[in-house]
Structure 1
Amino acid sequence: MSPDDIVNRHIKTLEARYCSFLLNCMPNPEGWLDDHIVATLRQVGTLWAPNTSRPPLPQSVTVDLGSTHSDLDALTCLPRQDIGSGVVNTTGNITGYRVLTSTDGGGDAILSEVDCGGITTRPVPTTPPTGS
């Protein structure tokens, strides 16, 4: 696969869909990447630039349970669990959220508003709390 194919046929197509592209580069028997693979990856790095004009990710998520439930008593938001070089990665963590409930789809009752600690590294946009 050429660097142009990798960038223009794969990465750009997937970026518009908010997906990642995993390129499997197998090491040689000594455990190293061959020179031609390194050269291809270097060219991909030169050709690729993220599309900074694409719209942001969706700012709300709607979960329709199909009916009312009197026994639903918890909603858990699990942050990223990856740690690199002993440092917890907070890139993309949700910084706050608001839970709205409704029996008619109107989202008319605020059940909870949560501030998740004011993380400042590229947070995922969320619906702003009332009064913001």
Structure 2
Amino acid sequence: MTTLTIDPQAPYPPFEQLRRQLVEQIVSQHLPAGTRLPPVRRLAADLALAPNTVARAYRELEAEGYLVTRGRNGTIVAPDAAPDDDVRRRAADLAATYVAGMRELGLRGEAIVAAVRHAL
């Protein structure tokens, strides 16, 4: 697992920073399917976070299909969490088309990102 960092000055709460970093590592396959994640308490101690903060990030990632929790057997990256190359390529094409259309409307980066966040 690539190093995870929490920035207390970031505009996002710690659980969201952790969630985003884990998604990024799963999607980029730095955390491949089947990889076992550290226990909640250990990761919380490593990141100087409350255990509930890490547990919330894990729960949300499990609800989103990125992780599978097996009780005392730990939490692993879900078998189908990372998209294959074809899906990634199609997603990149869709994103490029969307951004081009938004730019034609005269919107800049932050407005485009805000529109995506609102849609999600």
Under TM normalisation by the shorter chain, which class is it? under 0.3
Higher helix share: 2
Structure showing greater Rg: 1
- When the two structures are superposed, what TM-score results if normalisation uses the length of structure 1? 0.26
Higher strand share: 1
> Using CA pairs below 8 Å that are at least 6 residues apart, which structure has the higher relative contact order?
2
- When the two structures are superposed, what TM-score results if normalisation uses the length of structure 2? 0.27
